[in-house]
Structure 1
Amino acid sequence: MWRDVVLVAVGGAIGTAARAGLTLALGDDLGPALVPLINVVGAFAIGVVFGFRARMPESSRAQRAQLFLGTGVLGGFTTYSALAVESADLAQLWWGAATVLVGTAAAWAGVVLGRGRLRSR
């Protein structure tokens, strides 16, 4: 159990650092669009991880990889809490609603891709 907690914590630190690096590098250029963009990209990537994981046989190694990448790295990378704060201003509320809708669609597309359902039959 503690190994899993450490995997999520280390992955979360990596994902949070990646998000912070993007914010520092692109924050001035993308402004308020950066948080929704990060969340949609992260939602898609989480969908890919979980879709790919669904194709894998059950194993503790696959479970740990999902915890590290999906819950840890990508959970730390996405920042729905920052989105909520930005959306608290009613003028920005549409950002929040649009990001949740687009993020959900991106996660679904990622799951489909991760499960390999886009291949022609």
Structure 2
Amino acid sequence: MWRDAVLVAVGGAIGTAVRAGLTLGLGDDLGSALVPIINVVGAFAIGILFGWRARMPESLRAQRVQLFIGTGVLGGFTTYSALAVESADLALLWWGVATVIVGTAAAWGGVLLGRGGRAR
């Protein structure tokens, strides 16, 4: 159990650092569009991971890969809490709603891609 928690924590630190780097590097150019872009890309990547896992036999190693990459790295990379704050600051509820809808569609597409184009 502790090993799993460490995997998630380390992965989360990596994902958060990548997001922070993108924010520092691209924040001025993309402005408030950066957070939704990060969230949609992250949702797509999580979808790919879960689709891929659906094709794999159950194993402790596969479960730990999912914890490290999915819950840790991609969980730290995406930031729906920042989206909520930006939506409130911009007084634009549609911004947050649209990002969740597009992110859900991206995750669905990622799952299909991860499954090799086959729906379940």
TM-score by length of 1: 0.94
Paired residue total: 118
Question: Aligned pair 1:87/2:87, yes or no?
Answer: yes
Aligned-residue CA RMSD (Å): 1.0
CA distance in 2, matches of 1:5, 1:64: 10
Structure 1 unaligned segments of length 5 or more: list them. none
- Per the alignment, residue 12 of structure 1 pairs with 12
CA distance in 1, matches of 2:97, 2:20: 23
CA distance in 2, matches of 1:109, 1:26: 26
- Alignment CA distance shift 1:90-1:23 (3 Å): closer
Q: Which runs of 4+ in 1 moved over 6 A?
A: none
CA offset at residue 94 of structure 1?
1.6
CA distance in 1, matches of 2:58, 2:8: 19
- Per the alignment, residue 69 of structure 2 pairs with 69
- Per the alignment, residue 104 of structure 1 pairs with 104
CA distance in 2, matches of 1:104, 1:16: 21
CA distance in 1, matches of 2:73, 2:24: 18
CA distance in 2, matches of 1:90, 1:69: 31
CA distance in 1, matches of 2:84, 2:91: 13
- Per the alignment, residue 42 of structure 2 pairs with 42
Corresponding residue SS for 1:58: coil
**One-letter identity of the residue aligned with 2:23:** T
Identity of aligned residues (%): 85
- Per the alignment, residue 24 of structure 2 pairs with 24
CA offset at residue 90 of structure 1?
6.0
**One-letter identity of the residue aligned with 1:78:** T
C-alpha deviations, 1:17-51, integer Å up to 9, x for none? Answer: 00000000000000000000000000000000011
